[in-house]
Amino acid sequence: MNSPTNLFASVPKRSSRAPAAPFLPMTRAEMDALGWDSCDVILVTGDAYIDHPSFGMALVGRLLEAQGYRVGIISQPDWHSAEPFRALGKPNLYWGITAGNMDSMVNRYTADRKIRSDDAYTPNAEPNKRPDRAVTVYAQRVREAYPGVPVVIGSIEASLRRIAHYDYWSDKVRRSVLFESKADLLIFGNAERALVDVTRRIAAGESIKEIRDIRGTAFLVQPGWLPDAEWSVHNSTRVDVPGRVDTHPNPYAMAQEDVKACATENAQPEPEVKPVIIMTREQRQAAAREKAMKTVVRLPSFETVSEDPVMYAHASRVFHLESNPGNARALVQSHGDRDVWLNAPPLPLAMDEMDNVYDLPYARNPHPSYGKAHIPAWEMIRYSVNIMRGCFGGCTFCSITEHEGRIIQSRSEPSILREIELIRDTTKNFAGTITDLGGPTANMYRLACKEKSIEESCRRLSCVYPTICSNLGTDHSKLIQLYRKARAIPGVKKILIGSGLRYDLAVRSPEYVKELVTHHVGGLLKIAPEHTEQGTLSKMMKPGIGAYDEFKRMFDKYSIEAGKKQYLIPYFIAAHPGSTDEDMLNLALWLKKNNFKLDQVQTFTPTPMAMATTMYHTRKNPLKKVTEDSEVVETARSGKMRKAHKAFLRYHHPENWPILRETLVKMGRGDLIGNGERHLVPAWHPSEETGTAVAGDRKRQGGMPQLPVQAHQIAANAKRKPERAVAGGRAAPAAPERARPSILATIKTKPKGPRK
């Protein structure tokens, strides 16, 4: 992996450059106050503008400002005309377009494709402040506003749509977003390095059409285009099929000598003699890397993958195998008469670069124009600190892999401690509690491969599945040290860990678990086993439920030692590819056995380019070699089946009993319907006769549920003979229904959109 130029190498010292703007301007009046007649770059975002490093537009804007450019922001413009996009005038260099911190479709729609009633990234959580496919719509409007100005698109929405992809909301394979947006350049992944390079080169007078060599960028080219004559093409437009098998000669066969073949007049020319070069392993690897840097992998075309699910799965597998910046090759995919070219992924930021990015002079507040408006996303993170980015877990339903990558990029300890002090000293209403010290994962801070050379040559899809790689460092001591120093800061009363915890890693360090449980859990700790059944977990690339059990034993032990009553809140996904009705039933029985009553659960949402989305669309498993006859992945696709899978996770809610009864009878598990302790759902309940709700479930139930015929019969029998319940056509001994006390019975666990 090449050592790139430091992101801040050419940035002048702060004392010799223009002072930072209090906020990046959103109006002409703010530009006038700064003495600007124009902006070099104008960023358009679907989020409210909050000047904080957790919000992409603020981070990108402040980074470009530090490089000496004048940056303006247009936040949540009315997209129905081009006029709002003229608010700051014409940018000197280019437009930067993003949907915001979330994909606009995930932001606006539930897993059932229903429009959400609120938007956490909008003042007062007001919905419908951004269009569907916001990147495309915004890009089209800026073209109308000022034709001829280069358009650069980025953020997670663009990253996840950089090649042909299955779109859940339209239920079809769509072209790369480069075609729909007509953008000049797409920057994917962590954009800092590519964005700074692109901006410098455009400012120096280079045409954006000529910028074709920057990692982490994608663009449209003519078919067959190559950067230069040294490049070669690796064709991966077909799945692997058995080739011709030649018969090997028998070394013991007595063949007669062909005298004519030895005649002088028939003699063949002497073969060219090539010297045998003996190379060390390091030399071979270096030669292979050099060749890879000049090789592009041709994926099956858009037309092929849109019609052939097997080829789509094959393309998905190839795409994910080319995701390690240390060995990834460029990719190209045909879309009719144009090709989409993707350069290799961006190189990770070094620790000092990460520090400089997060140490920029953010105002750390929403823009003053919002007044006292309530912005949920801001209130969620205002007292939290991001210490790292990336995740090597490789969960197939997660979009971190496609966007941030698997290599962990961490900030230094001093930089993190400085930000905590800044929160203490400048953030309004800070009461002494840091609500989170983490990132995509709570406990991957400064974890990496033991050898850089191994990391650069690795092609595993996950460092922790099916087992934790022997080359992965799992030492949590640096994170423990950070926790101890952070909570010792004067004025800081408590530091909580709110990010997702990778518990299979945590159990490798009992000292870390003890530190976490003793000092950093506020009574409840979120944890994500996602499922209990191995068939489903293998499609998620998640550890078995045994790892959860091991962590829970440690959690309970250290909670008792600390004299605290603390509880785990597990997250689960319904209707994930590979999950059958039996799998969901077993998960529901596990929840009942462990006395969990979850109020809010998550149904699998197929996000573009995720490997689980490939399984959902193609019924093929891209985690293994894909062929016509390879493994078939059964998936809950119908609305009713997805609803039933979700109902299993909320088996205790009356609104779910009718569909669960019907599903259980179809499965031949009517024995689980009844009013006894061993049953999953009751055969009859007074609320279903009167149409009233039970124990606060009135709003959720919304009237008398409609029972299937079999369930009506079960309910009738139960009312006639309260001492016995008839289930599945067989008499079952009745057991008095006892209330099962649960500390979790009143807990509301509402995921904030699909987990990443």
- Please give the backbone phi and psi of residue 680, each rounded to the nearest 5 degrees, phi first: -85, -45
User: Nearest CA to 675 among 738, 586, 728, 588?
Assistant: 738
Annotated binding site: 391, 395, 398
Omega before 466 within 30 of 0, i.e. cis: yes
327 CB neighbour count, 10 Å cutoff: 20
185-206 per-residue burial string, b: 16 or more CB within 10 A, e: under 16: bbbbbbbbbbbbbbbebbbeee
H or E stretch at 163: none
CA–CA gap between residue 152 and residue 59 (Å, rounded): 16
Q: 701-734: string of b/e by CB count within 10 Å (b at 16+)? A: beeebebeebbeebbebbeeeeebbbbbeeebeb
H/E stretch holding 661: helix 657-666
CA–CA dist 728, 445 (Å, integer):
52
| DSSP 8-state code for residue 622 | T
Q: Which residues contact 91 (CB under 8 A, 6 or more apart)?
A: 38, 39, 40, 41, 42, 72, 146, 149
Annotated binding site for [4Fe-4S] cluster: 391, 395, 398
For 350, the enclosing helix (H) or strand (E) is none
First to last CA, the chain: 27
Instruction: Report the relative pairing of strands 409-410 and 384-386 from DSSP bridges.
Output: unpaired
Residue 507 token pair: 């159990």
